[in-house]
Structure 1
Amino acid sequence: MSSSFDRYQKRRLISSYFSVVLSIGLVLFLLGLLGMLVINAKKVSDHFKEQVVVTIYLKDSAKDVEIKQLEKSLALSEYVKSTEFVSKEQAAESMKAENGEDFMEFLGYNPLQNSIDVHVKADYVNETQLQAISEEALTKSFVDEVRYDNDLVTLMNNNVKRISFWILVISALFTVIAVLLINSSIRLSVYSKRFTIKTMQMVGATKQFIRRPFVWKSVRLGVIGAILAMIGMAIVFYYVNKTFPELNLLNNTVLIVALFAGIFMLGIVITWISTFIATQRFLNLKTDQLYY
């Protein structure tokens, strides 16, 4: 009978430890993914901003030397990421591929213009900077027109600001929820040992002596949970980076390592503090209060 009861108690203990590790691991995993989003939010927004194209249309009278000089000066500009010369023939072929018909057969000539597509660096993708870039290009006598989607730029910048704000709010909220969930799991684990704590206290054990094994046990569980969370994060990072290689999510090694180290330390710190507070609470309770 005693052996059966011991096995039952052991199974309960293992189940309790497993639930604590699982809850810690899941919460830290989700917190790590949110951390990845925060770290890469600017990189993702910059990637989409740099897809905006400023098209410089050239007059038919523009000489090859003038065009090459303009391309070279643009390439050396601090605000330009890349440039591409698009001849009127290339533009016609692209339009033909998009529309599925050759408009030149109806017109008898090519009405399109040679142009230079300019991809601007993310920091310069705003109304003021793009307007200045446009005005600078128009000072060239062989430049006919400069076009870019101003409405798209405005919408994109407004959305980036709005999304960044909500990411910060959600991050703060989720961090609080993570601490509360882990703290709740630890408290339930310590609660099951409240009578053991009180018995040890009644035979003269000091609070520090009673608290130490609980703290170390919880810290070990926190470490295991953090390791599981980091394994999950590494898998997600790998597949996201493989799916979206253009974002280069894993290029910033220092921040990635700092994120993993932060998750690991968070698993230790939260479990340590939660266990300390939980054991302190039961140490301060009177014997008759343990039943409530």
Structure 2
Amino acid sequence: MEKIIRKKRLGGYPALGVVFSIFLALVVLGMFGQMLIYSNGFERMVRDNVNVKVYLKSTLTESQRKQLEKTLASKNYIAKTDEAITFISREDAEKELIKEIGDYKQILGENPLKDAYIVKIDPIHQDTTQLKAIQTEIEKMNGVVEATYEKHLYDQVNKNFTKISIGLLILAGLLIGAIFLLVFNTLRLALFSQRFLIRSMQLVGARKWFIQRPFLFRAAGYGLLSGILAGVFLYSFFNFAERVLSELQTLNDRQNFYQLLVVLVIFGMIVAVGSTYLAIRRYLKMSLDQLY
């Protein structure tokens, strides 16, 4: 029986191993990216629950209190939310105090609490220096007795999240570098069988772009396919995870998640094409002795 010899085609190399390698790399990167989104969601949730308490003078009239509220609302450091400023009357505060410690009137005799505003500060103004300046500014407003915030908690939040952000950025850089090396080595090995065909094209006078073009187009297709497969996998995985752990839904940002999936597809194509370009350049520069 006559043996069938398959003719090698320029730009043709094993697809399964390349696609699988890029797919795995993108899944790992996507997992890391979603962890960043969850981390940002957790930071946002923590910062939304750290507030400044503004205690009011007992002699303040209703109209003066409303004017003070308008003054506070006009400041650029106030959070841009519907409930950025919440009024707590001394009567409501007394009810909460009784729930916590019981009836205190036998000891104190009267309600010692004051009317207060709970003010949410925009996250971009939550560093220690700005908070101190905000506290000083609010205390100078007419009708304000005191403005307080949990300084220790703010300091810990700023310090810890700064460390986490720097650590995650360093880890992201290392991860992207490792992914590029993985894909580059995978494609270099995949192109190894094409090295003599590349040299033959050079010998007949083919230009570098003519030789590179089919490889680059195929690499772009592999990167696109890998990105789509990784996106489908990550979408299914995190949807399942959020159904099992409903708390993750409060940390997730759907818009950022969809942007992450698009970035993964684009990144997959860029890495595949870039790695293929570098690998082909290496073979184009090799001498005949180095090809063996």
Write the distance in 1 (CA, Å) between the matches of 2:275 and 2:2. Answer: 33
**Which of 238, 249, 252 is matched with 2:253 structurally?**
249
- State yes or no: 1:56 paired with 2:54: yes
Q: Deviations over 1:70-126 (max 9, x none)?
A: 2222122222221111123322333444x4x51336435433332211111112223
Kindly indicate whether the alpha-carbon contact (under 8 Å) linking 2:68 and 2:143 is maintained by their aligned counterparts in 1. no
Write the distance in 2 (CA, Å) between the matches of 1:74 and 1:2. Answer: 90
| Corresponding residue number in structure 2 for 1:90 | 92
Alignment: residue pair count: 278
User: Which structure's relative contact order is higher, taking Cα pairs within 8 Å and 6+ residues apart?
Assistant: 2
Write the distance in 1 (CA, Å) between the matches of 2:42 and 2:152. Answer: 20
Write the distance in 2 (CA, Å) between the matches of 1:5 and 1:122. Answer: 67
Q: Which runs of 5+ in 1 are unaligned?
A: 7-12
Quick check: which one's helix share is greater? 1
- State yes or no: 1:274 paired with 2:282: no
Write the distance in 2 (CA, Å) between the matches of 1:211 and 1:142. Answer: 75
Kindly indicate whether the alpha-carbon contact (under 8 Å) linking 1:187 and 1:278 is maintained by their aligned counterparts in 2. yes
Distance apart, 1:24 and its partner CA: 0.5
Write the distance in 2 (CA, Å) between the matches of 1:123 and 1:219. Answer: 40
Identical aligned residues as a percent: 29
Distance 1:140 1:213, change over 3 A: closer
| Corresponding residue number in structure 2 for 1:102 | 102
With normalisation by structure 2, the TM-score equals 0.74
Distance 1:119 1:246, change over 3 A: farther
| Corresponding residue number in structure 1 for 2:19 | 21
- State yes or no: 1:161 paired with 2:162: yes
Write the distance in 2 (CA, Å) between the matches of 1:202 and 1:72. Answer: 76
With normalisation by structure 1, the TM-score equals 0.74
Distance apart, 1:182 and its partner CA: 0.8
| Corresponding residue number in structure 1 for 2:9 | none
Distance apart, 1:66 and its partner CA: 2.5
Amino acid at match of 2:16: F
Residue pairs, 1:129-278, within 5 angstroms: 129-140=130-141, 142-194=143-195, 206=206, 211-235=212-236, 243=247, 249-251=253-255, 257=259, 259-278=260-279
Residue pairs, 1:40-55, within 5 angstroms: 45-55=43-53
Q: Deviations over 1:232-257 (max 9, x none)?
A: 3444676669745556723569xx54
What secondary structure, in the 3-state scheme, does the structure 2 residue paired with 1:79 have?
coil
Kindly indicate whether the alpha-carbon contact (under 8 Å) linking 2:54 and 2:117 is maintained by their aligned counterparts in 1. yes
**Which of 72, 75, 99 is matched with 2:73 structurally?**
75
